Chains A and B, each alone.
Chain A
Amino acid sequence: MRNVRALLALLLVVTFAPVAVRTQAPDRSQPPQPGPPPALKLPAIQKRTLTNGIPVWIVEHHQVPIVQVNLVVLSGTGDDPPGKFGIASLTASMLTEGAGTRSALQIADAIDFLGADLSTSSTSDASTVRLNVPVVRISEALPLMADVVQRPTFPESELARQKVQRLTNILQARDDPASISQLAFARVVYGDTHRYGTALAGSAQTIEGFTVADVRAFYETAYQPGNAAIIVVGDITAARALPLLETRFGKWAGQGRPAPHNRSLTEPARQPRQIYIVDKPGAPQSQVRMGWVGVARSTPDYFPITVMNTVLGGSFSSRLNLNLREKHGYTYGANSQFDMRLGAGPFLAAAGIQTDKTADALKEFFAELEGIKQTVPADELTRAKHYISLRYPLGFETTGDIAARLEQALVYRLPDEFFATYIQRIESVTAADVQRVAQKYIDPEHFAVVIAGDRAAIEPGIRALNAGPIKILTVDDVFGPAPNLSK
């Protein structure tokens, strides 16, 4: 395979075979070799500022007559104060439950009538209000968005609704082996005091306790112009978008000052491997999650880790998937990921394994997690790098794709040249880099292994593996006591 780096400098030239009058039979003896890869054409980001200081990033994208407007505040669930886990997520939801002079139903009706989508969400590191609207309706939709961001009313009755909705979600998650396993993993790795050990929406205990005052308090620290930025992507020019934004967001004066980011960055101490079983009697599959604390998004090892994880469990042809799915048929799919946040999020490998193969599958998981510490063969490394880098230019297709990438750049303070140098930095990763980060971050001897499955069927086999002490967890250990909702 040719060197991709050298070719990236070339312009996009797709050469087709000379025009033939008759169709000739194709030569199938060798797969056709792709020509020079297309150049990366990055959308131009026009960076402006409203008079109150809110940065605005605009990308003109005239493919389809719609516009995406995202207002990002740099506070997320990672900023939930101790004892208030879930408040960022709840606050984001409450924004659309009454704002300005409109009730929750009136906001929804107005937005739907415009053919718009208005949604809110929180991740660990940011909260975002997103508007997607046909461009001809932008000036009607923006005032609604501005109300939601700047003038939420947080009605008591809506808070009560939201709380019951969320508590019922928890009740339902307790039924779902995949959800149980996912949360149990976070809990055993980070514990119940670290923010990353509890679901984004919080626990039944915290949710039950939330008041309008809690929501308002979080709102006032997080939703401040000094903590916000706006991203606009779509069929609109900067010249048209900016005055609209200035009118709707330029006079927003915060009442407070954003709280300093208060991430609990203390990493849990590494421990010898421990296996946790959450009993789901009769379950036809075991939902398996294993791993430990990974890295923060700011890690200097971002690129080698990205390549290493692609080899291990980040693509269809990754080792975990080829082994557990294609070779053994134990699962519909196995994968691994580094969940990178401002703090060190988890690394985890995951699969749903048919019950009677649980122990066999664990053995294969451990073998692959050990195996990745050996030198990765050149062809496998090249494939992984190409898989990431060659499709990178394709990932700027929709307004949503582009806006999501800009959000990442904002939230993680990525350098200006991040997108432009991405391909080159992936392609520069060496086998030695991959081995180094595998040895540094993949340590299955010290992993937590969580299995939600039929204990009676799987425990003897797991015990026979002698892979570490086994601890039995209840669903209550994972979620806390069930919410009391029957009134």
Chain B
Amino acid sequence: MSMLVGDGLTHRFGSEPAIDNVDLVLDTGEHMAVLGDNGAGKTTLLRILATALRPTSGKLTIAGLDAFRERRRIRHYLGYVAHAPGLYPALSARENLEFFCDLQDVDRSRVAEAMETVGLASVSHRRAAELSRGMQQRLAIGRAILHDPRLLILDEPDASLGADAADLLAGLMRGRTAVLATHDHALANRLCPRTLVLRHGRSLGTATHLRVVR
């Protein structure tokens, strides 16, 4: 059963397409990596998959629902880690997550769990502005799993994470359908059986166990 079907996804900023006619299919429980250089369109594609951005043309179906029309429903079980953490700097790590628990209509006990999972339990009282980039990234990841989403969209989460990134992400993605954008080919290969490669907004196709020869 397909969790995610993208058909001819195109997005233009002005007249230049950031992504051009991308097709993809993701089955439930599958993990897919999106690879590509800077400017290839990874972030745009992921924003579209996360329903944060509506493509100029093309159709996206998530769990059988039209991603745009039913985006409120879909967001109940979608977790998105964006490129920028989007945290509130003056609030503590815990307060940030508690706020989002309230918005997600999820019990606040989830905050402690999420903090444990991303390894931030010891700094929960510290203000988000005082956290390192890597910790902020972890906090953003923690926020994305508060509501126990079935589908995870992760935009370069490993960028500041450090050595245990692979383990952390593997744990997060277990049991969930996931799309992961990254520069790190080794990480992509380790975590995701399938890979989609973007170049200049176009998909070069998806493959299993892609090895990019340079």
Is the A/B pair a real complex?
Answer: no
Chain B interface residues (CB < 8 Å from chain A)? none
Chain A interface residues (CB < 8 Å from chain B)? none
